[in-house]
Chain A
Amino acid sequence: MTHASISQDDVKHVAKLARLELDDAEVQQLATDLSNILGLVETLNELDLEGVSDTPQTSQPALYRADEQRHVYDRAHLMRNAPEVDGQFFRVPKILD
């Protein structure tokens, strides 16, 4: 069984997608940490799953919601924890493409 590992390049790629700025030490540390986490998940491979089909999620039937409004929320309350608001809007810093 091969050990899954996260390279430093993987970390940099995901960090870029997530708009995270990491220094070299952090990249190295995260590569090690994330590899360890994946390694831990790999212990699941010890289970005998012969004959068990792939199940992306629980096999319980889905729950549906009726198409009606049940709760009314106060906007000011919902926006209370936002770092910055501007009138009726959330305000976010300059977007980097």
Chain B
Amino acid sequence: MSTASMAAQASQTTYEMVIGLEVHIQLKTTTKLFSDALTTFGADPNEQTTPICLGMPGVLPVVNEKAVELAILTGLALNCHIAEVTKFDRKHYFYPDLPKGYQISQYDMPICYDGHIDVLGRRIGIERAHLEEDAGKLVHGGADGLAGSTYSLVDLNRAGMPLLEIVSRPDIRSSEEARVYGETLRNLVRYIDVCDGNLEEGSMRVDVNISVRPTGETKLGTKTELKNMNSFRYIQKAIEYEAQRQIALVESGQAIVQESRLWNEAKGITESMRSKEDAHDYRYFPDPDLRPLTISRQQVDEIGARMPELPHQRLARFKDTFGLSDYDATQLVDAKELGDFFDRTAQHTKNYKAIANWLMGDITNVLKTQQQSLGATTLTPENLASMIELTDQGTISSAIAKKLLPDLMAGDKTPQQLVDEKGLAQISDTGAIEAMCKEVLEANPDNIAQYKAGKTKVLGFLVGQVMKASKGKANPQMINDILIRIIENS
């Protein structure tokens, strides 16, 4: 039950949440937005800096062309308009994470605006997406956090990283919708390969603006901002908690303070960051160091022509072309690497359902156990297809196929070679299976009586025993048929 309808039972008033998300994605460039410092994750502190990132006097920023292209590609994928003229502005604030005293961002002429994406059947508006540089990282010394610290250490590797801030309209109405919006966005940026979409490493960061109001009210309530949540599950939980907190305040006649709050996962609550709101006077003005960008329609068309298949398009294709269920297709679309592998395997066998089952079942299990990505294994689409064909032809049982999988994922032999070498071909020789069935039945006379008395479920046990005797190689359908024949004729 949603928070809003829970509160409704207590007070007769129903509330709705009004939510907007601000998502920062780090664009996949080799160098920073305005300098040629590298963007590699995990470098030693301050190793990836230049005089520009450090705000040295007299330096001039120059725009990274690739970052602009990736921003346009993202804008197009978000159904945005791409500005014909866009410019950069200085956003001023004094904090050691940006040594020049301002962040280069875009204020009133963002590169992308007025788009939308569809989430759970509803259209969520995208107000704008603008380019800006990231700030550096601080480590506070002498205490656990900023409070009580006696000094801070500054690492400016992240300062100047190219970010695209994607701002949704306040169209989101539930915590689930917010989570799925975020997941949809992450899938999208991964498909078009503009961002890793990694919340933990910070290549994707999500802030949530949330307010509540009585259902039917058109005026917005006072909002709070939930900052820096590093998983979509937390985002959903934080929104649920925050909506309930706000409703409780409204119900008891107290004011909601417009402020930034942090999700405390250990306590399961949001907490005020207690920042002074009057300090947020950014005094934006156009950056005189950077000329406005003129983006030709020809350039937009050229970038649009490079748009790869988007997640919703792949979902439709997997269902229409391969007859996959909505569930299977969604799983394969959400895990892009598995979906790519599916596509390649589908060129070698027509048993599409089996490919999907293998990828989402046993293969995913092995990858999880070994904490590996599919690309790091030796499994090839050809070998997976061949194993499916061998099973379909009855050469090996599905139990044997499962046993072969680890060898296919960490070795260079084909399924046929493994079957030949290990002598795993399924036994479909009637005489051999009949002999094994007889042995098992002789050892279990009680079961024959039970079966004849109508307890046909014992058949499963008997099949299992024969299977075991054959070391998994006997054809299970044949065992089944032969057992029934022997019992009924005895």
Report yes or no: B149 in contact with A95, Cβ–Cβ below 8 A.
Answer: yes
Report yes or no: A90 in contact with B36, Cβ–Cβ below 8 A.
Answer: no
A53-72 at interface with B (beta carbon < 8 Å): 56-58, 60-71
A97–B85 CA distance with the chains assembled, in angstroms: 37
* A3 at the B interface (CB under 8 A): no
B260-297 at interface with A (beta carbon < 8 Å): 274-276, 279, 281, 283, 286-288, 290-294
Please report the number of residue pairs spanning A and B whose Cβ atoms sit closer than 8 angstroms. 121
A67 and B67 in contact, given A57-B290, A78-B51 (Cβ under 8 angstroms) = yes
* B146 at the A interface (CB under 8 A): yes
Partner of B151, one of A58, A62, A93: A93
Chain A contacts of B45 at CB under 8 A? 87-89
A91–B146 CA distance with the chains assembled, in angstroms: 14
Chain A contacts of B302 at CB under 8 A? none
A64 and B64 in contact, given A19-B94, A75-B46, A97-B275 (Cβ under 8 angstroms) = yes
A89 and B31 in contact, given A94-B149, A97-B146 (Cβ under 8 angstroms) = no
* A18 at the B interface (CB under 8 A): yes
Chain B contacts of A16 at CB under 8 A? 279
Chain A contacts of B291 at CB under 8 A? 57-58, 60-63
Report yes or no: B46 in contact with A62, Cβ–Cβ below 8 A.
Answer: no
Report yes or no: B36 in contact with A65, Cβ–Cβ below 8 A.
Answer: yes
A33–B62 CA distance with the chains assembled, in angstroms: 34
Report yes or no: A56 in contact with B286, Cβ–Cβ below 8 A.
Answer: yes
Report yes or no: B50 in contact with A94, Cβ–Cβ below 8 A.
Answer: no
* A17 at the B interface (CB under 8 A): yes
* A86 at the B interface (CB under 8 A): yes
Residue from B36, B93, B149, B288 with most neighbouring chain A CB atoms (10 Å): B36
Bin the interface of chain B by size.
35 or more
* B392 at the A interface (CB under 8 A): no
Bin the interface of chain A by size.
35 or more
Chain B contacts of A63 at CB under 8 A? 62-63, 291
9-residue interface stretch from B152-160, B221-229, B399-407: B152-160
Chain B 88-116 interface mask (CB, 8 Å, partner A; 1/0): 00001111100001000000000000000
Chain B contacts of A19 at CB under 8 A? 94
State how many angstroms separate the Cβ of B44 from the closest Cβ of chain A: 6
Report yes or no: A91 in contact with B154, Cβ–Cβ below 8 A.
Answer: yes
Report yes or no: A89 in contact with B154, Cβ–Cβ below 8 A.
Answer: yes
State how many angstroms separate the Cβ of B370 from the closest Cβ of chain A: 34
Partner of B87, one of A56, A79, A88: A56
* 13 residue pairs bridging A and B, Cβ less than 8 Å apart: A17-B93, A17-B281, A62-B290, A64-B64, A65-B62, A65-B63, A65-B65, A67-B29, A67-B65, A78-B46, A78-B50, A89-B155, A95-B146
